[in-house]
């Protein structure tokens, strides 16, 4: 049975969590949580002067935001923080803005922060915003010095990117998880969160829906020998509190303060689960790669990227359906094992065909990841054969980790969360969604359910149509 200290982990008590993790890590696989403090509470903004005094060696603060307005009561949150800090500190405020309204986590933006750190000779960086501002601040301070105190004020419960040491950056047009650094301190002011646009908080709720598929993909990858980082504690800190959140989804629609608080906790824990695993696998599986493809195509199609978490939750519905079909219909005795190992030439052609329309650079970047995955998959053939021989055992284990797609959709509807790609802002058309579903497995060196389904010959147009039809029955999908 899982350690109850992990099951009910409180992200604001990092010392207790570290102790529980150490007691459940016999192989010393877990990465340290390199954060000093996490605050999730009312009036947390008022703590900022003390937090900065405690962490920064001098008075120079670089404040980094995007251009999105946020409020606390009647007042602008960012201005309020700026004036609050300016009484004591020498604050320079850098506003990141992008030509096409949406800030992207690209090197160019990170460079702007790095230049400002140097120009201001900053003693600490204060990032205020969502996942992109956070990822950029993590990347920029990592490039300058990991000793630089980084304090993040989370303005909405939009993604789980706030409490880990990874940045999702756009590199050569491809989204990549790069190891960067943790924030030193994370500040979640529940009064700010309550006023955040509902669609942003619902996006965070959508991002943690991945808890019902990503850890299962991760465990599968581990069992077939395609991943070595799998650990139970990363999953233990997610499952139970996420189940509580899923159960009380309807209260989210009413902005119930306790439910928002629970969402803040599980989002933070989801970041920590990735942090201790040292990679994003505990919170990122098939549902995320579908999303990454949609984002990659957005630029080429000249559309803004929809909320990450909202897209992820729809990917989760499709992935949960795919898991359900696999576990109910797969019969290993009927499998043609040799056919599960396609040639490099064949797969190179598939990757080119899938991504060339976005750009040759993108196709090449995807192939460099995929090529490694294909080689590992071939090397792991004995493990896969062994797994097939014990399929019923594995199936029973996997079934315990999954949630029925009906229940997922029912609760998402109760939360008022979107369940279809056409409900995204801006909407994603059916053709693009079909392309992302069909080709998601070709995109990088991470083994997920979609790879297994491809290699056993299922992940093709007709299977994707089946997923779409099943989602449609649940008032979800395209
Ligand atoms: Zn995510």
Instruction: Name the band, by pLDDT with cuts 50, 70 and 90, for residue 99.
Output: low
93 to each of 60, 83, 190, 235, 342, how far by Cα in Å? 11, 11, 23, 38, 53
pLDDT band at 102 (very low <50, low <70, confident <90, very high): low
Using the mean position of ligand 1's atoms as its centre, give its distance from the Cα of residue 354 in Å: 23
Q: Which of 16-20, 159-163, 211-215, 234-238 has the lowest mean pLDDT?
A: 159-163
Q: CA-CA distance, 149 to 309, in Å (whole number)? A: 28
* Ligand 1 centroid distance, CA of 86 (Å): 34
Strand partners, 472: none
Please, are residues 319 and 464 in contact by the beta-carbon 8 Å criterion? no
Determine the Cα–Cα distance for residues 41 and 189; give it in Å rounded to an integer: 5
Are the C-beta atoms of 38 and 13 separated by less than 8 Å? no
Q: How far is the CA of 217 from the centre of ligand 1 (A)?
A: 15
pLDDT, the chain, mean = 95
CA torsion through residues 151, 156, 159, 160, sign: positive
Ligand 1 centroid – CA 403 distance (Å): 18
- For ligand 1, the distance from its centroid to the CA atom of residue 37, given in whole angstroms, is 22
Q: Which pLDDT does position 168 carry in this prediction? A: 86
**How far is 85 from 111, CA to CA, in rounded Å?**
25
Q: For the chain, what percent of residues have pLDDT higher than 70?
A: 99
Tell me: pLDDT of 98 over 70: no
Q: How far is the CA of 271 from the centre of ligand 1 (A)?
A: 9
Q: Residue 308 above 60 pLDDT? A: yes
Distance of CA 346 from the midpoint of ligand 1 (Å): 31
Q: pLDDT confidence of 104, banded at 50, 70, 90?
A: confident
225: pLDDT strictly greater than 60: yes
Mean pLDDT of 133-139: 95
pLDDT score, position 69: 86
CA 162 / ligand 1 centre spacing (Å): 11
Using CB atoms within 10 A of its CB, is residue 2 exposed (0-12), middle (13-18) or buried (19+)? middle
pLDDT, residue 303, reads 87
- Quick check: bond before 426 cis, omega within 30? yes
Whether 157 contacts 201, CB under 8 Å = yes
189 has a pLDDT exceeding 90? yes
Distance 307 CA to ligand 1 centre (A): 10
Q: Strand pairing partners for 61?
A: 91, 124
pTM of the predicted structure, to 2 decimals: 0.94
Ligand 1 geometric centre to CA of 210 (Å): 8
Measured torsion, CA atoms of residues 157, 159, 165, 167, in degrees rounded to the nearest 10: -130
Q: What is the reported pLDDT for 161?
A: 82
Quote the ligand 1 centre to 49 CA distance (angstroms).
31
270 phi and psi angles, rounded to 5 deg = -65, -40
Predicted confidence (pLDDT) at residue 438 exceeds the cutoff of 90: yes
CA of 414 to the centre of ligand 1 (A): 21
CA 314 to ligand 1 center in whole angstroms: 12
Query: Is residue 214 scored above 80 in pLDDT?
Result: yes
Paired with 124 in beta bridges are 61
Chain centroid, CA 118 distance in Å: 30
200 CA distance to ligand 1 middle (Å): 13
Distance 396 CA to ligand 1 centre (A): 27
Which pLDDT score, from 0 to 100, does residue 103 have?
73
- How far apart are the CA of 305 and the centre of ligand 1, in A? 14
Q: How far is ligand 1, taken at its centre, from the CA of residue 207, in Å? A: 5
pLDDT at 100: 59
Ion ligand 1, residue ranges at CB < 5 A: 207
Residue 39, class by beta-carbon neighbours within 10 Å (0-12 exposed, 13-18 middle, 19+ buried)? buried
CA of 366 to the centre of ligand 1 (A): 19
CA distances from 67 to 76, 78, 133, 136 (A): 12, 10, 10, 14
- The alpha carbon of 310 and the centre of ligand 1 are apart by a number of angstroms equal to 9
Residue found by looking up tokens 């500040």 in the block: 187
pLDDT, residue 101, reads 61
| Distance from the alpha carbon of residue 293 to the mean position of ligand 1, in angstroms | 13
Q: Ligand 1 centre and the CA of 478: distance in Å?
A: 20
Q: Is 255 left (phi over 0), alpha (psi -120 to 50) or beta?
A: left
Query: Residue 8 pLDDT more than 60?
Result: yes
Q: Which domains does the chain have, with CATH numbers?
A: 31-195 (3.40.50.1970), 284-473 (1.20.1090)
DSSP per-residue string spanning 8-72: T--TT-HHHHHHHHHHT-TT--PPP---SEEEEETTGGGGHHHHHHHH-SSSEEEEEE-S---EE
Reference 443, options 278, 226, 291, 325; nearest CA is 291
Answer whether 238's CB lies under 8 Å from 403's CB.
no
Confidence of residue 255 (pLDDT cuts 50, 70, 90): very high
- DSSP code of 339? G
Predicted local confidence at residue 72, as pLDDT:
83
- pLDDT tens per residue, range 144-160: 999 999 999 999 998 88
Give the mean pLDDT of 149-177: 87
């Amino acid at each position: 049975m899982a350690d109850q200290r992990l099951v009910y982990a409180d992200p604001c008590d990092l010392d207790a969590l570290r102790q529980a993790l150490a007691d459940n890590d016999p192989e010393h696989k877990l990465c340290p949580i390199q954060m000093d403090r996490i605050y999730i509470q009312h009036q947390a903004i008022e703590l900022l002067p003390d937090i900065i005094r405690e962490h920064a060696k001098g008075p120079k603060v670089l404040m980094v935001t995007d251009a999105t307005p946020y409020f606390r009561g009647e007042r602008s949150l960012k201005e309020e923080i700026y004036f609050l800090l300016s009484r004591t500190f020498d604050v320079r405020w850098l506003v990141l803005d992008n030509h096409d309204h949406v800030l992207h986590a690209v090197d160019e933006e990170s460079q702007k922060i790095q230049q400002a750190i140097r120009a201001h000779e900053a003693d600490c960086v204060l990032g205020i915003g969502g996942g992109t501002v956070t990822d950029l601040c993590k990347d920029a301070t990592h490039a300058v010095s990991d000793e630089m105190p980084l304090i993040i004020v989370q303005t909405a419960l939009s993604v789980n990117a706030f409490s880990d040491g990874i940045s999702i950056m756009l590199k050569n047009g491809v989204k990549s998880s790069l190891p960067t650094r943790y924030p030193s301190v994370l500040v979640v002011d529940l009064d700010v969160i309550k006023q955040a646009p509902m669609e942003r908080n619902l996006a965070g709720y959508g991002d943690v829906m991945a808890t019902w598929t990503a850890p299962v993909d991760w465990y599968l990858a581990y069992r077939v020998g395609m991943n070595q980082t799998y650990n139970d504690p990363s999953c233990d800190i997610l499952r139970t509190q996420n189940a509580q959140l899923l159960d009380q989804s309807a209260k989210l629609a009413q902005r119930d303060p306790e439910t928002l608080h629970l969402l803040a906790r599980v989002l933070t824990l989801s970041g920590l689960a990735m942090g201790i695993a040292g990679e994003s696998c505990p919170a990122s599986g098939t549902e995320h790669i579908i999303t990454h493809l949609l984002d990659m195509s957005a630029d080429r199609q000249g559309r803004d990227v929809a909320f990450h978490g909202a897209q992820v939750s729809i990917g989760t519905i499709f992935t949960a359906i795919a898991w359900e079909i696999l576990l109910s219909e797969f019969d290993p005795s009927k499998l043609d094992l040799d056919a599960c190992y396609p040639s490099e030439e064949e797969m190179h052609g598939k990757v080119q065909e899938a991504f060339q329309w976005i750009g040759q650079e993108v196709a090449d970047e995807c192939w460099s990841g995929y090529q490694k995955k294909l080689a590992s998959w071939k090397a792991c053939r004995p493990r896969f054969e062994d797994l097939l021989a014990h399929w019923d055992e594995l199936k029973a284990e996997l079934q315990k980790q999954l949630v029925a797609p009906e229940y997922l959709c029912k609760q998402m509807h109760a939360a008022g969360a979107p369940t279809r790609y056409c409900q995204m802002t801006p909407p994603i058309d059916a053709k693009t969604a079909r392309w992302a579903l069909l080709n998601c497995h070709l995109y990088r060196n991470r083994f997920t359910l979609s790879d297994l389904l491809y290699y056993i010959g299922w992940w093709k147009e007709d299977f994707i149509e089946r997923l779409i039809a099943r989602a449609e029955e649940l008032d979800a999908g395209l």
